[in-house]
A and B are shown apart, each in its own frame.
Chain A
Amino acid sequence: MKKMMLGNEAVARGLYEAGCTFVSSYPGTPSTEITQYASDYVSIYAEWATNEKVAAEAAFGASLAGARAFSGMKHVGLNVAADPVFTAAYTGVNGGLVIAVADDMGMHSSQNEQDSRHYAVASKIPMLEPSDSQECKDFTKLAFELSEKFDTPVFVRLSTRISHSLGSVEISEPAPVEPREYVKNTQKYVMTPANGRPRHAEVEKHMEELGDWCETADINSVEWGTERKIGVVSAGIAYQTAREAFGDKASYIKLGMIYPLPVAIIQELAEKVETLYVIEELDDFIETHCKKHGISVIGKAELSPLGEYTPEMLRRLAGDSVPDVTHTITVPPARPPVLCPGCPHRGVFSVLNKMKLTVTGDIGCYTLGAAKPLDAMDMCLCMGASVSSLHGLLKARPEMARRSVGVIGDSTFLHSGITGLINIVYNRSAATVLILDNSITGMTGHQPNPVSGFTLKKEAAPVVNLEVLCRGCGVERVRVVDAFDMEGLEAALKEELAADEPSVVIMRRPCALVKTFKKGSPRTVEDCKKCKACLRVGCPALYTVGELIQVDQSLCMGCGLCSKICRFGAIKEGK
C-alpha cells in the first residue's frame, strides 16, 4: 500500500516498521515532525526532552536497556547533543540507536548553515542520507540493522527539502523485534580511560568493516547514462537536483551512505566518463574524499558552498542554456515573517525599543523582535546565549547593567538558559533577564514543554514553576508581569535595571495561536489623528487607508496593545 508522506513522516514510519519503541527529541525545524508523527504510533513511546543532549542521552539509555531507540534534531541541535553522541560511538549500543540530523541549506529557519556530515567523521559514526520520502523510511530501518550489526549509533542525515517534501511511500507492517537482554558490561559502558582505550580500537575496527560493507552496499547505486561524457557523484536532495539538470545522458552514483564513502565504484565511474562532477550542497565533503583517493573531480571550484542548488545552476554548469525569466514588472515589497496579531511578545519588544535598551536575544519566535519596526535586539547566537552572553557583556562593561537585558522564551530557558542564570548568580553580575513565558514551544509549531502541563502523548504533566526555579537558582528579585501590561513592564524594568543584583522578570501570556488564548473583541478606529504611533508596534492587523489607521477585523485578536499606544484614545474596543 502506498501513502503520501513528508520525508519526516516517512522517517517516523521507518521507526514504527523497524520496531523502535523509544523516541526522545527536542523540536527544531526542519526535524520536528519526525517525533510528532512517531508519537501517533501506539507502539512507540515518544517525548519532547528538555534539550537535544538530554534527548540523545535518554535514547542511549533506552538502547542500553535493549530497546531500539531514536533521537531526532536539527543541525544545531546536534551541537548540543555532541557530547554524549561522541562517546556513544565508543560504547556502541545494545538495542539499535539511530540519530536523525536535519540540515537547513538556505537557512529557511536557522541561525547557521553548518554541514552536519562532518560530525560523522569527527565522531566516527556511520551516516546514511536518503534522497526522497521512500528512502527516508527504508534508510531508517536499515540504520537500525546497521546499528545492531556493527555495534554503533547510526546517523540519518536529512535536509529541509527532504524533510519537508511529500512523496509516495510503500508502507508495510513491522516484523516483530524482541528487545535485547540487558546485561551489565562495565568494560563496554563505563567510559573510564582504561575502558575507553580498547573501545576506541573497536571503533576503528568496525569503521573499517563498514568501509568494506559500503563498497558493495546497494544503497550506493550506479545509474549508467546514454553517453559517457558526464558522470555525477551525489547524495540526498543534491542528487535529485543533479538528476533533473544533467538528464538521461549523464551517469550517476547516488550515495545512500555518506560515511564511510566507497572508493571503487567512484573510481570505476571516473575511468569511464570524460568529466566527473561531485554535486553536493554546503561543504566539499564527498569531493575531499574523492581527491584523497586520487580521483579527479569538479566540485566547489565551480559551485558555491552557500545555500541550496537549483536545476538552473547545474544546467549552466553543464553548459546548457537557461531561459531568461526576468519580467519587466514592479518588484513586490519584501514580506519578512512577523510576530502574529495578538502575540504576547509584541508589547515586550515595543517597551524594550522605547527604553532603548541593549538586548541580548535568543532562539524562537521572539527573534522576530529584532526586525523593524520593533528593532529591539542586539544579538542572537544560539539556544540560551541571551542569558550567558549578557553576563559576559556586563563583566566587560559593568556600566551597561543599567540599560541591558537578556530575553529568552520559556522553552529555550529550560533548554539551556538555566545554566547561564546560575552562572550569573554564582559569578555575580547584576543582570536582568526577561523570560517570555507563553507556555509552549512556539516557532516550531506549538510543541508542549515542561511549563505546558501536558506531554507529547497528550498526557497531563506537572508544570515547572519558573518563579520557584529562578529563586532556587539564587535569584532573589523574581517578578511576574502580564505580557500585555506595557506600563507594568516599563516600571518593573526601571526598578530591576537599577538593582545591583540579578533579576528575573517573567512575562506571562499564552501564545496567540493556542486554544487557551482568550481572543478579545477586534479594535475599531474613530477620529484617527494620523500620528501613526500605533504602527510602531508592528502589528500585521493595522494598516493605513490614505493616512488613516484601520484595523483588519479578520486578523485582530483584540489584545489592545494599539489602544494603549494611541495617545488620543482613537483605537477602541469593538462591540
Chain B
Amino acid sequence: MTNIVISGVGGQGSILASRILFALYETRGDMVKVSEVHGMSQRGGSVITTVRAGKTVYSPLIPDGEGDILIALEQIEALRYLNQLKPGGTVISSIQKIPPMPVLTGAAVYPDNVFDEIRGAGFKLITIDALTLAKQAGNSKAANVVVLGAASAALGGTDAEWDAALSAAVKPQFLDLNRRAFELGKTVI
C-alpha cells in the first residue's frame, strides 16, 4: 500500500494534485482512493487530502503513522500533519509561507524553524521554491504541480506514466502550463 498525504491551504490546488496522483497509480494497475476536502475549509483553511494506492484499498483515510510521503504546499501545513507519516518518511514541502489569521492578528506566532523541526523529528526533507518556479512556468497557481514534480522521484512512475496522469487530470487548456511546472519541479532533485 502506498499512502500519500497532501496538505496545504484551501485554494492552493491540493485537489488537482490528488487527482493527478489518482491517475498515476491507476495507470500502474493499482486500486486507488482519494479523500478530498470541499466546503467551508476551502475558504483559506487548512486542508488535508489523502491518496491511497495498492491491491485493495478500504478506507480513503490514512491511519496515523502509516503515510509514506507528505506533500506540503505550505510550510506549517507540513508540520501540522507529520503525525500522518511513518517514522523516517519523506516530506516534500514548498517553502511558501502563508500566515494564518491568528498570526495576522498577533494571537499566534509563525514558527521560523519549521524545516529544522521536520529534519529533527527524523524525516527526510526536500524543499522547493514552488511559487517562484510556478511563476517561471507561467502561473503562480501551478505551484501545486511544481511540488509534485519535486516529489516525482520519491513517488515513482516513469516519464510516460506521469505525462499520462497529467493529461488525464488537467484540463486541456492548462496542460502545457502544468507540464512546464512539473518539469521545473523535477529539476530540484
Contacts and interface: CB of A to CB of B under 8 A. Distances in A.
A445 B42 CA distance: 10
B64 A164 contact: no
Contacts of B118: 329
A329 B82 contact: yes
Interface residues of B, number: 60
Contacts of B60: 161, 165-167, 240
Contact of A443 (B35, B40, B65): B40
Contacts of A368: 43
A462 to B, nearest CB: 29
B26 A443 contact: no
A397 interface: no
A441 B108 CA distance: 32
B108 A327 contact: no
A46 B53 CA distance: 34
Secondary structure dominating the interface of B = mixed
A4 interface: yes
A543 B37 contact: no
A325 interface: yes
Contacts of B40: 29, 108-109, 337, 443
Contacts of B63: 244, 310-312, 315
Interface in B107-131: 107-111, 113-114, 117-118, 120-121
Given A240-B59, A332-B76, A335-B46, A372 B26 contact: no
B89 to A, nearest CB: 11
A535 interface: yes
A222 interface: no
Interface residues of A, number: 57
Nearest to A167: B33
Interface stretch (B97-105, B152-160, B171-179, B180-188): B97-105
A301 interface: no
Given A30-B39, A327-B83, A166 B101 contact: no
B41 interface: yes
B23 interface: yes
A338 B101 contact: yes
Contacts, number: 171
B37 to A, nearest CB: 7
A330 B79 contact: yes
A30 B36 CA distance: 11
B105 A535 contact: yes
A336 B9 CA distance: 10
A329 B117 CA distance: 6
Nearest to B103: A333
B101 A538 contact: yes
A317 B24 CA distance: 35
A185 interface: no
A535 B106 contact: yes
Contacts of B110: 333
Contacts of B22: 4, 166
B80 interface: yes
Contacts of A491: none
Contacts of A336: 45, 100-102
Given A167-B32, A244-B59, A312-B63, A554 B83 contact: no
B170 interface: no
B39 A443 contact: yes
Interface string B3-37: 00000011000000011001100100001111111
A244 B32 CA distance: 15
B58 A243 contact: yes
Contacts of A315: 63
Nearest to A238: B59
Contacts of B38: 29-30, 32-33, 109, 164, 445
A338 B110 CA distance: 17
Given A244-B59, A310-B64, A554 B140 contact: yes
B44 interface: yes
B43 A166 contact: no
Q: Which of A167, A328, A371 has the most CB of B within 10 A?
A: A167
B39 A109 contact: yes
Interface string A275-300: 00000000000000000000000000
A1 interface: no
Given A327-B82, A329-B79, A554-B140, A240 B41 contact: no
A310 B41 CA distance: 20
Contacts of B36: 6, 164-166
Nearest to B18: A166
Contacts of B168: 4
A444 interface: yes
B117 A337 contact: no
A372 B108 CA distance: 13
Contact of A329 (B23, B42, B121): B121
A116 interface: no
Interface of A: 4, 6, 29-30, 32-33, 108-109, 132, 161, 164-168, 237, 240-241, 243-244, 310-312, 315, 322-323, 325-330, 332-340, 365, 368, 371-373, 443-445, 532, 535, 538, 540, 542-544, 554
26 contacts: A30-B39, A166-B19, A240-B59, A241-B61, A243-B59, A310-B61, A327-B83, A329-B121, A332-B76, A332-B79, A332-B111, A333-B108, A333-B109, A335-B9, A335-B44, A335-B45, A335-B76, A337-B43, A337-B45, A372-B101, A372-B105, A373-B101, A540-B44, A540-B98, A540-B101, A543-B104
8 A-B pairs closest in CB distance: A109-B39, A29-B39, A337-B45, A333-B108, A335-B100, A166-B34, A335-B46, A332-B76
Given A32-B38, A165-B34, A337-B40, 6 more contacts: A29-B38, A167-B60, A329-B79, A338-B44, A340-B44, A544-B106
